[in-house]
């Protein structure tokens, strides 16, 4: 379906942009300026690596200007390439090599270029950008860098290139949704990584960038006749085809990822006649053409030298499987045995069921999560029986599951496997599995000082150094105190600050908005909205204050009728970067926040 849609779009583009076709323009006049559609324009068909070998100085210069000096060209100026004597016939392939081989150029429109030429020589490239201003470009760089860190956070240095490539393939397929739109952002790595929506070009550029970040060599392949792109990944001395786009189903099936087009030779890649008309490095090695992962349609996790995945059973069963990578021996850790009932169409009310296992697999904080038709379960390595995280009371069944990088477990409830469903989210940092349980250990007998633990920074913010919690006294167990320790270097650059409490788990945006509205009183900011102020003078002093650190204190009271809360300290610096410290109630008790105070800034 994706291939057919892409071809239809390509034909429409070719018809509508016939006046700008590459060969036609250069035949009409000896000098001028033209807009080139890089997706459909016909050049010599030379691929990126070959063009880099032929024109290394020109390509590296263009890429360097786009990367380091983009502010010179964002207003419409051209990159002067007249000294390189680039023939018109090679111009398209040279610029394709720039945008395809330098995948860090996430601000550049990969589908268009304005080219000036004179007597058969290309004299300049006027780049087209995805963003209109320098500030927008810089914001885009930051957003992409944060997401790249999210995608690569679990990649270990001792993994070989194959394991890195497979993990990134699986994450991209399960975190990004294929979208068939005309928005050029979806053609870019930015669209795939930041917006989580992309067409084939976006998948391909994002995958290339992730591979490069992890030190894996790859190149991008373009087939103009297919209007399609994919990657070739270098493992050892050999290249292999990888088409992440076609391994991600349409409509998006949460947590589902195929490995049909992962690490194929030229002959295997073209055997089904769905990929054709490409010109790239040779992929002659057939080592992985029939690899064991071909039939695995779930994420494959690589942990301590072993691989974990759900293997299809006899139609009803699925097996959580451990595979030894050296021997190839598979061990069943747990058997999932459930019936997914069909409740729409001709089958409604007749007791039909789908004879397949639709349990998806995700790994988070030491647990494997999977779904049954009506429950979300988790199981740790070494455990024989899973724990039910929660049960869904719904007329329909759960068919899809994944966990996002910001720790939300998303699951699809659908009438049947073929119908588009409703997505629900569960915050793994609150409720049953919360931050305090895993990050902070509290000594029940210590009534004076906190036991501190390092918090893991979230993706969108820089973490504060330490976050602690302390009981106010042994007698007053319904009142607790937070102490967040932050560097004096951070405090020197403070623009806004405050403690924000909320009774919802998705509080990030609203909490930041509240923090920005806090009023300044005597050099401090307070948030006492709808709360009881329990701050006292004793609570405002502490020997935690050192020459290297300042501290922030806050208190909360147990108030009946309230849900578990998230409490977050925000320190927003002059560059607009928000630093944070977070507490999430550990026992699902009913708490309400009261007040916060930042220590003196001098």
Answer yes or no: is pLDDT of 600 > 60: no
* CA-wise closest residue to 172 among 114, 246, 122: 246
- Which pLDDT score, from 0 to 100, does residue 570 have? 52
Tell me the C-alpha to C-alpha distance, in Å, between residue 475 and each of 468, 478, 479, 534, 557: 20, 9, 10, 16, 14
**What global pTM score does this model have?**
0.70
Delimit the domains of the chain by residue range. 2-138, 303-428, 435-598
Tell whether the model's pLDDT for residue 329 goes beyond 90: yes
Determine the pLDDT at residue 495. Answer: 57
User: Which class for 161: exposed (0-12), middle (13-18), buried (19 or more C-beta within 10 A)?
Assistant: middle
3-state secondary structure of 463: strand
With bands split at pLDDT 50, 70 and 90, how would you rate the model's confidence at 356? confident
The answer on pLDDT for 486 being more than 80 is no
In the predicted structure, residue 23 carries a pLDDT above the cut 50: no
pLDDT tens readout for residues 370-426 = 999 999 999 998 899 999 988 888 888 999 999 988 788 989 998 888 888 888 888
DSSP 72: G
pLDDT at 84: 97
Burial class for 247, CB neighbours closer than 10 Å (0-12, 13-18, 19+) = buried
For the ranges 60-74, 174-188, 200-214, the lowest mean pLDDT is seen at: 174-188
């Amino acid at each position: 379906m994706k291939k057919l849609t892409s071809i239809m779009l390509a034909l429409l583009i070719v018809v509508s942009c016939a006046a700008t076709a590459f060969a036609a323009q250069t035949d009409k006049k000896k000098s001028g300026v033209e807009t080139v559609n890089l997706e459909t324009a016909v050049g010599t068909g030379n691929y990126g690596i070959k063009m880099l070998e032929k024109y290394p100085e020109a390509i590296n210069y263009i890429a360097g200007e786009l990367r380091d000096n983009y502010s010179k060209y964002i207003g419409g100026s051209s990159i002067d390439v007249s000294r390189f004597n680039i023939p018109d016939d090679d111009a398209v392939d040279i610029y394709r090599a720039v945008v395809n081989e330098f995948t860090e150029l996430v601000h550049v429109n990969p589908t268009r270029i304005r080219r000036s030429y004179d007597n058969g020589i290309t004299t300049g490239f006027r780049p087209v950008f995805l963003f209109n201003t320098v500030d927008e470009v810089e914001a885009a760089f930051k957003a992409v860098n944060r997401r790249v860190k999210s995608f690569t956070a679990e990649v270990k240095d001792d993994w070989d290139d194959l394991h890195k490539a497979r993990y990134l393939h699986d994450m991209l397929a399960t975190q990004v949704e294929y979208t068939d739109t005309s928005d050029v952002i979806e053609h870019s790595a930015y669209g795939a990584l930041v917006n989580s929506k992309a067409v084939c070009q976006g998948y391909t550029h994002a995958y290339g960038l992730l591979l490069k970040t992890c030190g894996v060599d790859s190149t991008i392949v373009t087939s103009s006749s297919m209007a399609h792109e994919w990657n070739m990944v270098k493992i050892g001395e050999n290249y292999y085809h990888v088409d992440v786009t076609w391994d991600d189903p349409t409509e998006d099936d949460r947590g589902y990822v195929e490995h049909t087009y992962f690490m194929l030779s030229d002959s295997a890649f073209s055997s089904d006649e769905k990929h054709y008309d490409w010109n790239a490095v040779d992929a002659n090695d057939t080592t992985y053409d029939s690899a064991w992962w071909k039939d695995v349609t779930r994420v494959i996790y690589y942990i301590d030298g072993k691989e974990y995945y759900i293997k299809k059973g006899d139609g009803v069963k699925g097996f959580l499987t451990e595979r030894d990578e050296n021997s190839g021996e598979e061990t069943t850790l747990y058997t999932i045995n459930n019936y997914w009932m069909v409740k729409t169409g001709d089958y409604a009310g007749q007791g039909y069921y789908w004879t397949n296992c639709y349990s998806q697999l995700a790994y988070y904080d030491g647990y494997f999560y999977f779904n049954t038709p009506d429950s979300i379960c988790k199981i740790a390595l070494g455990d024989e029986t899973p724990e039910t995280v929660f049960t869904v009371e719904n007329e329909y069944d759960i068919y899809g599951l994944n966990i996002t990088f910001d720790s939300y477990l998303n699951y699809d409830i659908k009438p049947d496997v073929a119908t588009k469903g409703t997505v629900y989210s569960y915050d793994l940092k609150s409720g049953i599995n919360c931050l305090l349980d895993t990050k902070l250990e509290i000594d029940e007998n210590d009534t004076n000082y906190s036991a501190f633990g390092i918090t893991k920074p979230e993706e969108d913010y820089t973490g504060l150094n330490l976050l602690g919690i302390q009981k106010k006294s042994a007698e007053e167990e319904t009142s607790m105190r937070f102490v967040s320790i932050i560097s004096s270097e951070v405090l020197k650059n403070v623009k806004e600050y405050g403690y924000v409490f909320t009774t919802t788990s998705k509080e990030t945006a609203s909490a930041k908005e509240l923090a920005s509205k806090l009023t300044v009183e005597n050099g401090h900011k307070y948030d006492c909205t709808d709360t009881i102020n329990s701050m006292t003078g004793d609570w405002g002093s502490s020997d935690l204050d050192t020459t290297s650190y300042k501290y922030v204190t806050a208190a909360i009271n147990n108030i009946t009728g309230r849900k578990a809360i998230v409490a977050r300290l925000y320190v927003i610096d002059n560059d607009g970067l928000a630093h944070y410290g977070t507490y999430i109630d550990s026992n699902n008790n009913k708490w309400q926040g009261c007040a916060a105070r930042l220590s003196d800034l001098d």
